[in-house]
A and B are shown apart, each in its own frame.
Chain A
Amino acid sequence: MDNNKIILDIENVSQWFETRQGILNVLHEINLQIVQGQFVSLVGPSGCGKSTLLNAILGTVPPKKGTISAGGIPVLGPNRNVGMVYQHRSLYDFMTTEDNVAFGLMLDQTNLFQRLFMPWYWWPLRKKHMEEARELLNKFKLGHAHKHYPEELSGGMKQRVSVAQSLIMKPKILLLDEPFSALDEAMKQEFQEMLLGLYQENLEAKKKGEPPPYTVIMITHSIEQAFYVSDRIIGLSKNWNDEERGQAGKTFGATKMWDKCAPVYHPDDPRDFDLFFAAQQELNQVVLREDAPDADRNDHVSFWSDLEKGVGTGVTMLRSNQ
C-alpha cells in the first residue's frame, strides 16, 4: 500500500436525478481508490450508472453526495487533471491530426492575447508544440497521418489520436468512454496493443522507481476487452442487498459489486484464455445478468485485501527498483 500512490479518491459518492416520476437513484455510496499507474475497467449492465460515474469523475455532472479528488485536488468541474476520450467526438473535425494533438499544449502554455498579438512569442512555441505532437503521433504509429483531418482517419486511428491528444497534457487520470465499441476487430486489436504498450511503460517506470505516467479508467460493455487491457476490474450493479435493508439495489441505485485485479499481459506474450473465461463467467453471474440473484455487495470486492495478501499482478504489486 505504501508503495502505491492513490491518484483518484472517490469517497461515498451517491448520485440521483429528479424526474417526472420522482427521484431516480443511480449510484449509491461508491467508494473507490485508484492507484497511480493502474488501468481500470468499469463494467456493468446498461443503465447501471457507469457513464454517470465517469461524468462525476470528469466533473461535468458532480455527485449529489460524496467527494471525488484527482491527485489530491477536489474535482469541481472538467479540468486538465482529468483527460477524456469520448466514443465519437474527441477530435475537432476542423483541425488536422497534429493540430488536434497540439491543441492542449497551445491552451496550456499560451493565452489568446499572446497568440493574437505576440507572434514573436507564439510562433516559436507553436513550432515546438507541433514537434511534440508529431513525436507522440509517431509513437502511436500515426506519423504518416499528421496532416489528415479526422474525417480522413479510420475509427481506430481516431481513437489513438484522441488518446494522444489527451496524453500530451500529462493528465493525472485518463478516462476512456467505450473506446472499443465503434471499432472492428482489427482496429480493436490495434487499440488494445497501444494500451498494453502504455501499460508496459507504467511497469518499467515503476521498476525504475519513477511514478507510472499513465492512469486509465475505461468504461466498456465488453468484458473481454476489459480483461485484456486492465489490471483491475470494477463492476457496478443494482443486484445487491445488505443485512439492514435487504434487496436495496433496485431502490437505492447501483453500487460497486466487483473489485478485483485482473492479469495484464505483455502485448507479445500469450494469454491464458481459461483464466479469462472463468473470471468472465463469474463477473457475468454477479454483475451483468439482469436476473442475477442479489448478492452481498462486499462478496466480490477484494482488491485491497488481495493486495495485502500479495495476490494479484500489475503495477500495484511491483515494488520500486524491483
Chain B
Amino acid sequence: MARIKQPMSNRRRIILGIVGIAFIVVGYSVLSNIQKNRNPSDTTIPNLTQFQDGFVEIFKPRKSELEALLNPDAPAKPPWIVVDVWATYSRLFKAMVWASFISVVLGTLMGCYATIESLFSWSLSFLSKIPPTAMLAVFLVIATIFKWDQNMMFIMLVGFGITPTLIQSIYLAAKYDLHKDEIDKAYTLGASNIELIWNVVLRKILPKIIDGIRLTIGPAMVYLIAAEYSLGSEGFGYRIRMQGRMLNMNVVYIYLTFLGMTGLLMGQSMIGIRKLVCPWFGSK
C-alpha cells in the first residue's frame, strides 16, 4: 500500500487521470442507457445521438419564423454559442480587468500604508461577507436609477462579488510577504516610496496577485451565470435557464462542459503566465 504523500511517476498520473474521466463517461452512459430503456423519448440524460442534435442546435445560425416571413432575405443571426460566448465572456473579461486593477492598486496601498489599511480593512471585510447574488435586487434598482444597460449591471455585480476578496488577498500579501529588512534594504539602495512599491512590493507579490485572480475566476463565473440565469436575455446563464425549462439537457450539458473546459483553460493559462513572468516563484 502506498504511503501517505508518496510521490508518483508522471506516466502513472496521466493514466489514472484518464481512468477518472473514463469512469465518468462510463457511469453517464450506463445511466443514460437505463433512462432510455425506461422512456425512449427522454431528454434529461441524453445519449450520443441527442448530443449530436444539441451540437447542431447551438451552432445553427438563427432566424425566427416571423423574421423569415417578413424579410426572407435578411441575414440570419449568429448561432447561440457565438452570441452567448461573446455576451458571457466579454462581461467576465471586463469585470475581471476592472476588479483586478482596483484590487491591485487598493490592496497594495493598504499593505504598504497603515492609514489606508485602517480606512478600508473593516469595510472591505464587511462587504466581502455579502453574497453578491443576494444583492441582485439592489443592483436592479441601481441599474434603473443610473440607466445602466444589462451588461453594465452584470459587470458591476461580478465586480462587487470578487473585488473585496481580491483586495484582501493582495493586501495581506503586500503586508506580510515582504519583510521589513527587504524594505529597509531598498531604502539603503536609494529607492523612493513609489519605486519601492513598483520595483519591490509589486514584483514580490506578483505571483500571489496572479494566483488571486486565477482563484477568483470561479466565483466570478458563479455570480455571472447566476445573474444571467435570473435577469439575462443572452449569455450562458440565460441559455441554460431557457433550455433547462424545455428539458433540452443535450444543450445544457454541452454548455456546462464548455464552461468547465474554458474555466480549466483560463486557470491553466494563468498558471502558465505566472510561470513565465515569475520563474523564481516556487523554483525549489
A residues lining the B interface (CB < 8 Å): 58, 60, 77-80, 82-84, 86, 88-90, 92-95, 103-104, 107-108, 111-112, 149, 151-152, 165-166, 169, 171
* B53 interface residue (CB < 8 Å to A): no
Q: Are A86 and B194 in contact (CB under 8 A)?
A: no
A87 to chain B, nearest CB (A): 9
| Chain B residue with the shortest CB-CB distance to A96 | B280
Given A94-B204, A104-B190, A112-B194; A151-B283 close (CB under 8 Å):
yes
CB neighbours of A151 from chain B (8 A): 280, 283-284
Instruction: Identify which of residues 9-28 in chain B touch chain A, using a CB-to-CB cut-off of 8 Å.
Output: none
Given A112-B198, A149-B280; A86-B181 close (CB under 8 Å):
yes
Instruction: Identify which of residues 232-284 in chain B touch chain A, using a CB-to-CB cut-off of 8 Å.
Output: 278-281, 283-284
Q: Are A78 and B182 in contact (CB under 8 A)?
A: no
Q: Are B188 and A84 in contact (CB under 8 A)?
A: yes
* B101 interface residue (CB < 8 Å to A): no
CB neighbours of A111 from chain B (8 A): 192, 195
Main secondary structure of the interface of A (DSSP, over half): loop
Q: Are A60 and B184 in contact (CB under 8 A)?
A: yes
Q: Provide the bound-state CA to CA distance between A152 and B282, in Å.
A: 12
B residues lining the A interface (CB < 8 Å): 179-182, 184-192, 194-195, 198-200, 203-204, 206, 278-281, 283-284
Given A112-B198, A149-B280; A169-B185 close (CB under 8 Å):
no
Q: Provide the bound-state CA to CA distance between A107 and B280, in Å.
A: 22
CB neighbours of A90 from chain B (8 A): 181, 185
CB neighbours of B279 from chain A (8 A): 149
Of the candidates B184, B199, B200, B283, the one whose C-beta lies within 8 Å of that of A149 is B283
Of the candidates B185, B206, B284, the one whose C-beta lies within 8 Å of that of A89 is B185
Q: Are A94 and B188 in contact (CB under 8 A)?
A: no
Main secondary structure of the interface of B (DSSP, over half): helix
CB neighbours of B182 from chain A (8 A): 89, 92
Q: Provide the bound-state CA to CA distance between A92 and B279, in Å.
A: 13
Q: Provide the bound-state CA to CA distance between A89 and B278, in Å.
A: 19
Q: Provide the bound-state CA to CA distance between A111 and B195, in Å.
A: 8
CB neighbours of B195 from chain A (8 A): 107, 111-112
| Chain A residue with the shortest CB-CB distance to B191 | A107
B129 to chain A, nearest CB (A): 33
In the complex, given contacts A112-B199, A151-B280, A152-B284, what are 11 additional A-B residue pairs having Cβ atoms less than 8 angstroms apart?
Answer: A58-B188, A60-B180, A77-B187, A90-B181, A92-B204, A93-B280, A104-B190, A107-B189, A108-B190, A149-B283, A169-B189
Of the candidates B180, B188, B199, B284, the one whose C-beta lies within 8 Å of that of A79 is B188
CB neighbours of A83 from chain B (8 A): 188
Q: Are B179 and A82 in contact (CB under 8 A)?
A: no
Given A93-B280, A94-B280; A88-B181 close (CB under 8 Å):
yes
Given A88-B181, A151-B280; A171-B188 close (CB under 8 Å):
yes
Q: Are B179 and A89 in contact (CB under 8 A)?
A: yes
CB neighbours of A78 from chain B (8 A): 184, 187-188
* Interface pairs (25), CB distance under 8 Å: A58-B188, A79-B188, A79-B190, A80-B189, A82-B188, A84-B185, A86-B181, A86-B185, A89-B179, A92-B204, A94-B280, A95-B203, A103-B189, A104-B189, A107-B189, A107-B190, A107-B191, A107-B192, A107-B199, A108-B190, A111-B195, A112-B192, A151-B283, A169-B188, A169-B189
Q: Are A152 and B283 in contact (CB under 8 A)?
A: yes
B280 to chain A, nearest CB (A): 5
B179 to chain A, nearest CB (A): 5
Which one of A60, A80, A92, A152 has the highest number of Cβ atoms from chain B below 10 Å of its Cβ? A92
Which one of A103, A152, A166 has the highest number of Cβ atoms from chain B below 10 Å of its Cβ? A103
| Chain B residue with the shortest CB-CB distance to A165 | B189
Given A149-B280, A149-B283; A94-B189 close (CB under 8 Å):
no
Q: Provide the bound-state CA to CA distance between A82 and B187, in Å.
A: 10
Q: Provide the bound-state CA to CA distance between A83 and B187, in Å.
A: 9
Q: Provide the bound-state CA to CA distance between A80 and B199, in Å.
A: 17
B197 to chain A, nearest CB (A): 10
Q: Provide the bound-state CA to CA distance between A295 and B180, in Å.
A: 37
CB neighbours of A166 from chain B (8 A): 188-189
A222 to chain B, nearest CB (A): 21
CB neighbours of A58 from chain B (8 A): 184, 188
| Chain B residue with the shortest CB-CB distance to A84 | B188
Q: Are B198 and A94 in contact (CB under 8 A)?
A: no
Q: Provide the bound-state CA to CA distance between A151 and B184, in Å.
A: 21
Q: Are A80 and B280 in contact (CB under 8 A)?
A: no
CB neighbours of A79 from chain B (8 A): 187-188, 190
A165 to chain B, nearest CB (A): 7
Q: Provide the bound-state CA to CA distance between A80 and B206, in Å.
A: 26
A96 to chain B, nearest CB (A): 8
Given A78-B188, A108-B190; A94-B181 close (CB under 8 Å):
no
CB neighbours of A86 from chain B (8 A): 181, 185
Q: What are the 4 tightest A-B residue pairs by CB atom distance, in nearest-first order?
A: A104-B189, A78-B187, A80-B190, A89-B181
| Chain A residue with the shortest CB-CB distance to B281 | A94
| Chain A residue with the shortest CB-CB distance to B200 | A92
Q: Are A94 and B203 in contact (CB under 8 A)?
A: yes
Q: Provide the bound-state CA to CA distance between A151 and B206, in Å.
A: 17
CB neighbours of A77 from chain B (8 A): 187
Which one of B189, B198, B204 has the highest number of Cβ atoms from chain A below 10 Å of its Cβ? B189
CB neighbours of B283 from chain A (8 A): 149, 151-152
Which one of A93, A111, A166 has the highest number of Cβ atoms from chain B below 10 Å of its Cβ? A93
| Chain A residue with the shortest CB-CB distance to B282 | A151
CB neighbours of B192 from chain A (8 A): 107, 111-112
